[in-house]
Amino acid sequence: METKPERHRHDRVHEEGGEDDATMAHGALSLHHRGAAALFGPRHDEEAAGRRGEIREVDFFSRDSGARRQQDDGGGRRVPPGGGRDDVNIGLDLLTTGTAAAASAGEEVTAAKNHKMEASAVETELRRVVDENRQLRGILEELTRNYGTLYQQLLQVTQHHPHQHQHPDLMNNQSSLLPHTHLNTMGAPNSSATRQLLEARASSTARTRPDAGAEDEASDGAGEASPSLSNNGGNNNSDGKRKMSQDGTAPPRENGEQASSAELPGRKARVSVRARSEAPMISDGCQWRKYGQKMAKGNPCPRAYYRCTMAVACPVRKQVQRCAEDKSILVTTYEGHHNHPLPPAATTMANTTSAAAAMLLSGPATSRDGAAALLSHHPAALFHHHASIPYASTMATLSASAPFPTITLDLTQAPGGGAPGSGGLLAHGLQRPPVGMVHPAAAGPAMPFAVPSPLAMFLPQRAPAAAAAMPAGLVARQPQQSVMETVTAAIAADPNFTTALAAAISSVMAGGGAQQAQLATPRGSNIGIAEEASGGAGTTAPAAPTTAAAGAHAASGSPRFATQSCTTSTT
Partner DNA sequence: CGTGTTTGACCCGCGC
Partner DNA sequence: GCGCGGGTCAAACACG
| 17, 66, 298, 429: residue in contact with DNA (rule CB under 7 A) | 298
Residues that bind Zn ion (CB under 5 A): 308, 310, 314, 316, 338
Binding mask 66-95 for DNA (x = CB under 7 A): ------------------------------
Least distance CB 386 / DNA (angstroms): 14
- The yes or no reply on residue 227 touching DNA (CB under 7 A) is yes
251 binds DNA (CB under 7 A): no
Residue 243 binds DNA (CB under 7 A): yes
Separation of alpha carbons 504 and 489, rounded Å: 20
Task: Give whichever of 173 and 235 is closer to Zn ion, judged by the CB atom.
Answer: 173
Tell me which DSSP letter residue 135 carries.
H
Q: Judged by CB under 7 A, which stretch of 17-25, 76-84, 97-105, 367-375 contacts DNA?
A: 17-25
String marking each residue 26-65 x if it binds DNA according to CB under 7 A: x-x-x-------------------------x---------
266 binds DNA (CB under 7 A): yes
Q: Which of 175, 217, 169, 156 is nearest to 74 (CA)?
A: 175
Contact of 187 with 164, CB cutoff 8 Å? yes
Residue 518 identity? Q
Residue 119 contacts by C-beta under 8 Å, 6 or more apart in sequence?
92, 94, 95
Counting DSSP H helices and E strands in the chain, the numbers are: 15, 10
Q: Are strands 394-399 and 329-335 parallel, antiparallel or unpaired?
A: unpaired
Nearer to DNA, 10 or 65 (CB): 10
Question: For residue 15, what are the contacts with CB-CB under 8 A and spacing of at least 6?
Answer: none
- What amino acid occupies position 349? M
Residue 314: name its binding partner from Zn ion, DNA, none (Cβ under 5 to 8 Å by kind).
Zn ion
Stretch that binds DNA, among 20-28, 79-87, 105-113, 384-392 (CB under 7 A): 20-28
CA dihedral 325, 329, 330, 334 (to 10 degrees): -90
Using CB distances below 5 to 8 A depending on partner kind, what does residue 539 bind out of Zn ion, DNA, none?
Answer: DNA
> Which segment (108-116, 195-203, 291-299, 498-506) binds DNA by CB under 7 A?
291-299
β-pairing, 270-276 with 406-410?
parallel
Cα distances from 302 to residues 71, 291, 324, in angstroms, run: 42, 13, 10
Nearest-angstrom CA–CA distance, 273 and 87: 44
Q: Are 343 and 331 in contact (CB under 8 A)?
A: no
Contact partner, 310, from DNA, Zn ion, none, Cβ < 5-8 Å per class: Zn ion
Q: Which does 100 bind (CB under 5 to 8 A by kind): Zn ion, DNA, none?
A: none
Residues 420-449 that bind DNA (CB under 7 A): none
Decide whether 160 or 439 has the Cβ nearer to DNA: 439
User: Is residue 490 a contact partner of residue 550, using CB atoms and an 8 Å limit?
Assistant: no
Instruction: Confirm or reject binding of residue 10 to DNA (CB under 7 A).
Output: yes
CB 302, CB 318: distance < 8 Å: no
Q: How many CB atoms lie within 10 A of CB 179?
A: 16
Q: Does 512 engage in binding with DNA (CB under 7 A)?
A: no
**What, of DNA, Zn ion, none, does residue 4 touch, CB below 5 to 8 Å by kind?**
DNA
Spatial separation of the C-alpha atoms in residues 245 and 494, rounded to whole Å: 43
Judged by CB under 7 A, which stretch of 6-14, 344-352, 407-415, 420-428 contacts DNA?
A: 6-14
DSSP 8-state class, residue 444: S
228 contact choice in Zn ion, DNA, none (CB below 5 to 8 Å, kind-dependent): DNA
In contact, 295 and 3? CB cutoff 8 Å:
yes
- Cα–Cα distance measured from residue 260 to residue 252, given in angstroms and rounded to the nearest whole number: 15
User: Is residue 23 within the footprint of DNA (CB under 7 A)?
Assistant: yes
Q: Which residue in 147, 305, 391, 458 binds DNA (CB under 7 A)?
A: 305
Is 17 a binding residue for DNA by CB under 7 A? The answer is no
Residues that bind DNA (CB under 7 A): 1-10, 12-14, 19, 22-23, 25-26, 28, 30, 56, 227-229, 232, 239, 241-244, 246-247, 266, 287-294, 296-298, 303-305, 307, 309, 317, 319, 403-404, 538-539
